């Protein structure tokens, strides 16, 4: 019997549904070629749903997501909803409720893609950021005192637990082992100023590192790392960091790999249900115009296939994407591709079908 995966799909807002449609097209075609099946359940949540119902994501829906094999998310974000409501109410809530404690973001420059960094080639830009995804400044700890007065106090605390930090660091070492690279893991922190949080991170990092003698354990302060990601991206193989620094350096990473149109991320619970997304946002002004690049969503599908164990299908999707980027897409930016969203999806499928599968 064929293996059937239960996939939850959240197309979401703006251009989310358009790019999700292309991702699903690719998923269906590799399922046929690699002999597995996907049963899709679509969920109507996002800004539109919130404006109509006042609800972000219900507990029932979260429970239902927990029964799936994976979640594919398009984009959440609506111009008429105050910032913070959907981010916290949907995206962060799901990450936390499903304990997706790893945010994995590959940063890879594909052939044919323009990087704003002069003289850097695909062999120079190929690293992965492992971002802690459930703690740090994102935990929501803190509060106001005397809000709105001249004496107002606002406190936002970074929560770092030994177990939370350790499981993230262990994941990063294990992940680094699987990569065919320099086997170097860089801890990105700020041990010179954040002397509590990153003291814990640093101690844990070097303790765990002793179990991995074949991996070079390296450290960089976050500010210096920003500098080096531009000047010497080839120095990096895998980077592990906390939630906030990870958020920041992965946007930098998305730009040096060519732009948001091709940047994907995975929210992973290694023992549970993971969620895969293009990281670019809902781009409301392009809604329905077929101008957005679906490659980020297609690479999110690739990360999903890789995570659920369909490794061959994942490689096949990546190879199809690499060809479309090399041969067809003029510019990865919205409206500059030379093709519509749908046409890009079709081309990826054409390349996948032409691959040698012996
Ligand atoms: C990301 C996004 C989210 C984050 C926002 C939308 C809450 O920027 O996935 O990086 O900060 O984690
Ligand atoms: Mn971000």
Ligand 1 pocket member 87 (CB < 6 A): yes
Distances (CA, A) of 173 to 178, 205, 250, 329: 9, 9, 19, 35
Task: Tell whether 247 and 125 lie within a shared domain.
Answer: yes
pLDDT of 358 strictly over 90:
no
Task: Tell whether 178 and 300 lie within a shared domain.
Answer: no
Task: Tell whether 163 and 243 lie within a shared domain.
Answer: yes
Ligand 1 pocket member 279 (CB < 6 A): yes
- Alpha helices by DSSP H, listed for 232-340, are 243-256, 295-308, 311-327
Residue 202 lies in a domain: yes
Rounded Cα gap, residues 159 and 212, in angstroms:
27
Ligand 1 pocket member 254 (CB < 6 A): no
Tell me 285's DSSP state: G
Rounded Cα gap, residues 72 and 7, in angstroms:
7
Distance of CA 12 from the midpoint of ligand 2 (Å): 17
Ligand 1 pocket member 28 (CB < 6 A): no
Ligand 1 pocket member 31 (CB < 6 A): no
Distance of CA 247 from the midpoint of ligand 1 (Å): 7
Name the closest-CA residue to atom 11, ligand 1. Answer: 247
Residue 109 lies in a domain: no
Residue 14 lies in a domain: yes
- What is the structure's pLDDT at 295? 98
Distance of CA 336 from the midpoint of ligand 1 (Å): 25
Task: Tell whether 252 and 266 lie within a shared domain.
Answer: no
Task: Tell whether 122 and 88 lie within a shared domain.
Answer: no
| Strand ranges across the sheet with 274-278 | 36-42, 3-12, 70-75, 274-278, 264-268, 102-108, 126-132, 238-241, 184-189, 216-221
- What is the structure's pLDDT at 1? 82
Instruction: Pick the last residue of a domain from 223, 257, 291.
Output: 257
- What is the structure's pLDDT at 268? 98
Distance of CA 4 from the midpoint of ligand 1 (Å): 31
Q: Which residues surround ligand 2, an ion (CB under 5 A)?
A: 247
Distance of CA 248 from the midpoint of ligand 2 (Å): 6
pLDDT of 24 strictly over 90:
yes
Instruction: Report the CATH number that the domain containing residue 317 is assigned in CATH.
Output: 3.40.718.10
Q: Look up the domain containing 229 and give its range.
A: 115-131+159-257
Name the closest-CA residue to atom 8, ligand 1. Answer: 247
pLDDT of 357 strictly over 90:
no
Task: Tell whether 244 and 265 lie within a shared domain.
Answer: no
Q: Which atom of ligand 1 is nearest to the CA of 265?
A: 9
Look up the pTM and report it.
0.97
103-128 pLDDT, tens digit per residue, is 999 999 999 999 999 999 999 999 99
Task: Tell whether 127 and 224 lie within a shared domain.
Answer: yes
- What is the structure's pLDDT at 233? 98
Q: Which atom of ligand 1 is nearest to the CA of 76?
A: 6
Instruction: Pick the last residue of a domain from 239, 257, 275.
Output: 257
Task: Give residue 95's pLDDT band: very low, low, confident or very high (50, 70, 90).
Answer: very high
Task: Tell whether 250 and 295 lie within a shared domain.
Answer: no
Q: CA quadruple 121, 297, 290, 327: dihedral positive or negative?
A: positive
Pick from 16, 46, 73, 87 the residue to mutate for probing ligand 1's pocket: most ligand atoms within 8 Å of its CB: 87
Task: Tell whether 229 and 305 lie within a shared domain.
Answer: no
Task: Give residue 157's pLDDT band: very low, low, confident or very high (50, 70, 90).
Answer: very high
268-281 pLDDT, tens digit per residue, is 999 999 999 999 99
Task: Tell whether 193 and 253 lie within a shared domain.
Answer: yes
Instruction: Pick the last residue of a domain from 215, 238, 257.
Output: 257
Task: Tell whether 205 and 289 lie within a shared domain.
Answer: no
Q: Which atom of ligand 1 is nearest to the CA of 77?
A: 6
- Domains: count for the chain: 2
Task: Tell whether 96 and 166 lie within a shared domain.
Answer: no
Instruction: Report the CATH number that the domain containing residue 203 is assigned in CATH.
Output: 3.40.50
Residue 73 lies in a domain: yes
Residue 149 lies in a domain: no
């Amino acid at each position: 019997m064929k293996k059937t995966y239960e996939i939850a799909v959240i197309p979401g807002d703006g251009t989310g549904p358009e790019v999700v449609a292309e991702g699903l097209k690719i998923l269906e075609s590799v399922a046929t070629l690699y002999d597995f099946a996907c049963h899709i359940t679509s969920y109507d949540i996002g800004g539109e749903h919130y404006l109509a119902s006042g609800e972000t994501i219900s507990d029932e829906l979260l429970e239902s997501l927990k029964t799936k094999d994976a979640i594919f998310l398009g984009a959440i974000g609506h111009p008429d909803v105050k910032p913070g409501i959907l981010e916290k109410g949907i995206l962060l809530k799901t990450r936390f409720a499903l304990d997706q404690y790893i945010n994995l973001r590959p940063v890879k420059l594909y052939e044919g893609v323009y990087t704003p960094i002069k003289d850097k080639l695909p062999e120079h830009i190929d690293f992965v950021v492992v971002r802690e995804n459930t703690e740090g400044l994102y935990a929501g700890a803190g509060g106001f005192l005397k809000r709105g007065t001249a004496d107002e106090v606002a406190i936002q605390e970074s929560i770092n637990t030994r177990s939370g930090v350790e499981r993230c660091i262990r994941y990063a070492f294990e992940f680094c082992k699987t990569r065919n690279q320099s086997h170097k893991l860089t801890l990105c922190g700020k041990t010179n100023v954040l002397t509590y949080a990153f003291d814990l991170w640093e101690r844990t990092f070097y303790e765990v590192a002793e179990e991995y003698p074949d991996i070079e354990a390296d450290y960089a302060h976050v500010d210096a790392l920003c500098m080096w990601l531009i000047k010497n991206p080839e120095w990096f193989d895998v980077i592990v960091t906390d939630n906030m620094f990870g958020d920041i350096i992965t946007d930098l990473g998305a730009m040096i790999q060519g732009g948001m149109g091709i940047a994907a991320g995975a929210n992973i619970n290694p023992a549970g249900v993971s969620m895969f997304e293009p990281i670019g946002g809902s781009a409301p002004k392009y809604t329905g115009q077929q101008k957005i690049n679906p490659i980020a969503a297609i690479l999110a599908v690739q990360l999903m296939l890789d995570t659920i164990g369909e490794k061959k299908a994942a490689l096949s999707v990546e190879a199809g994407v690499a060809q479309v980027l090399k041969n067809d897409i003029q510019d990865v930016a919205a409206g500059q591709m030379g093709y519509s969203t749908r046409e890009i999806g079709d081309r990826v499928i054409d390349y996948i079908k032409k691959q040698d599968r012996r």
